[in-house]
Amino acid sequence: RTSVVPSFSRRGTPTLPEGLRLWADTDDAPLRPLLHSDAYHGPVGDFLHHVADNSEADPAGVGINLLTFVGVMLGREVSFSAGRAVRHYPHVWAVVVGDTAAGGKGVAADTADLVLARIDPDPRRWEMSGIGSGPHFIDRLSEHPRALIREHELGGVFRTCARKGETLGTTLRNAYDGKPLRAGSRGSGEQEAVDYTVGALGSITPAEYRDLTSALSIADGSANRWLPVWVEIGDGDGLMPFGDTISDQFLTNAAEQITAGTSSAMGTDYVIEANSPTGDEWATFYRAHRRGTGDGGILNAFTARHVPHAVRLAIIYAAADGATALRPEHLRAAFAWCRYSAATLRHVFPRAATGDAARLLDIIRAAGSDGITEADQRDTLGRNVAGLPDLRNDLHTRSLIWPNKDRPEGGGRPAVRWFAVTAADEGGTPTTVRRNDQTPSTGGRS
């Protein structure tokens, strides 16, 4: 374990090594992720452009809701094949990450439902919430083999998966992979779900996502089968105090185009041919992501799952176009969502801090330029947290926090205060994002 040696000075004047500055002196957080224009493809993309100009709903949140629903609607009628052993269906599992109320997770879902209701008069008939236990989930899926999971409190599902002896995590992993699901015993009445269609949309706050996403949940596949998507209501000109101006005619046109396209694509098995423009795009992405992007930690574990996510999203874009072959633009649209998801992770997990380490980092950042003592950290975080010195040491080693020893004005025992820090070249001028142009218009990180 690395020894942490604090600097020694008056309170409020921490001495930092060259290359670091106080987090409180920056813009407080990385800039929000930006969804690349490649994702605005076809009738789905046209609708997202209209949403961006006529609603305060986040187009990314609307888009992932719409794509997930269309995937469930397609069911097992379209697929992707890679050799003889690999077959994917357009079943998307996404977790929408955003702050309570201000994030607009519900606004995004409700806006997507405007067009979904014109595709299917009763889109909620496929919804499944309250997953419960593993056997309960299998029982419901055996009775309703086409389902869209909408979990507005996904944190509860993650907590259930983490319980000792609970089978829900294994069940959900197998459901994502489309494997046969069985519960109970043959003597007491076995429940079985096969040839089912299940898409999933979960909602969670950034703090809860950090708290519940641990190394274990990544290693066993409970967390990284969900594609994280950041959602945030626009500010400034993006706010609409008198409601949206989404056109009824545009909703009808978008629904008709998606319906016509998916009807034409039914029965298609998409195959990517080598030595073709589509094959070249796919090979480059596959080689870069099959084992993760190489960033390490959480980002590496999640991006390793981008291969199946990209395939599933690409065939939804292709089907919505009515295409019977995957084209490069379908892959690029899917890749844009994978990049957005990776940016979401960087935004939510600063330097891949998770669990108690992320909670501790939040507490120290909230203390601002005053810093916070180790005793106050323990009281705020909870005295039952094990290994608090190790958590501090880990964050310090990664240059996320820095200690400073106070010399009291009137004498007495010095106290160590901790400050959140960041690299001196991070932060800076906030980026202004136009609602219908997903390109930063000033300097800064995206």
User: Per residue in 294-314, pLDDT tens?
Assistant: 555 677 888 888 999 999 999
The reported pLDDT for the residue numbered 97 is 95
The reported pLDDT for the residue numbered 434 is 31
Better-scored residue on pLDDT, 266 or 427: 266
Better-scored residue on pLDDT, 72 or 12: 72
The reported pLDDT for the residue numbered 271 is 92
Q: How large is the average pLDDT for residues 128-154?
A: 88
What does the block give as tokens for 135? Answer: 């056997």
The reported pLDDT for the residue numbered 312 is 97
Kindly write down the DSSP assignment for every residue of 230-282, as one continuous string. Answer: E-----GGG--TT-----HHHHHHHHHHHHHHHHHHTT-EEEPPTTSHHHHHH
The reported pLDDT for the residue numbered 282 is 94
Nearest to 209 by CA among 168, 155, 160: 155
CA torsion 75→78→81→84, rounded to 10°? 70
> In this prediction, what percent of the chain has a pLDDT beyond 70?
81
The reported pLDDT for the residue numbered 427 is 40
173-204 pLDDT tens trace: 999 999 999 986 554 567 899 999 999 999 99
Question: How many Cβ atoms are within 10 Å of 26's Cβ, its own excluded?
Answer: 17
Query: Does residue 436 register a pLDDT over 80?
Result: no
What is the C-alpha to C-alpha distance for residues 439 and 446, in angstroms, rounded to an integer?
9
Question: How many Cβ atoms are within 10 Å of 274's Cβ, its own excluded?
Answer: 9
Better-scored residue on pLDDT, 386 or 49: 49
The reported pLDDT for the residue numbered 212 is 82
Q: How large is the average pLDDT for residues 141-167?
A: 87
Kindly write down the DSSP assignment for every residue of 165-204, as one continuous string. Answer: T--HHHHHHHHHHT--EEES-TTT--EEE-S-EEEEEEEE
Interior angle at CA 29, CA 25 and CA 31, nearest 5: 120
Mean pLDDT score across all residues of the chain: 82
Per-residue pLDDT band for 233 (boundaries 50, 70, 90) equals: confident
Q: How large is the average pLDDT for residues 144-165?
A: 87
What is the C-alpha to C-alpha distance for residues 242 and 74, in angstroms, rounded to an integer?
36
Residue 376 φ/ψ region, left for φ over 0, alpha for ψ in the -120 to 50 degree band, beta for the rest: alpha
Better-scored residue on pLDDT, 186 or 55: 55
What does the block give as tokens for 132? Answer: 């419960």
212-226 pLDDT tens trace: 876 556 656 678 899
283-296 pLDDT tens trace: 999 998 888 775 55
> In this prediction, what percent of the chain has a pLDDT beyond 90?
41
Query: Does residue 378 register a pLDDT over 60?
Result: yes
Per-residue pLDDT band for 280 (boundaries 50, 70, 90) equals: very high
What is the C-alpha to C-alpha distance for residues 381 and 404, in angstroms, rounded to an integer?
20
Per-residue pLDDT band for 246 (boundaries 50, 70, 90) equals: very high
Q: How large is the average pLDDT for residues 140-167?
A: 87
The model carries a pTM of 0.76
Interior angle at CA 366, CA 359 and CA 398, nearest 5: 55
Query: Does residue 435 register a pLDDT over 50?
Result: no
What is the C-alpha to C-alpha distance for residues 265 and 263, in angstroms, rounded to an integer?
5
Helix (H) or strand (E) holding 149: strand 146-151
Q: How large is the average pLDDT for residues 18-38?
A: 77
Summarize the chain as % helix, strand, coil (round to 5): 45, 15, 40
Provide the b/e sequence for 310-325 (b: ≥16 CB within 10 Å): bbbbbbbbbbbbbbee
Query: Does residue 443 register a pLDDT over 70?
Result: no
Query: Does residue 71 register a pLDDT over 60?
Result: yes
320-357 pLDDT tens trace: 999 999 999 999 999 999 999 988 988 887 665 667 78
Q: How large is the average pLDDT for residues 431-442?
A: 32
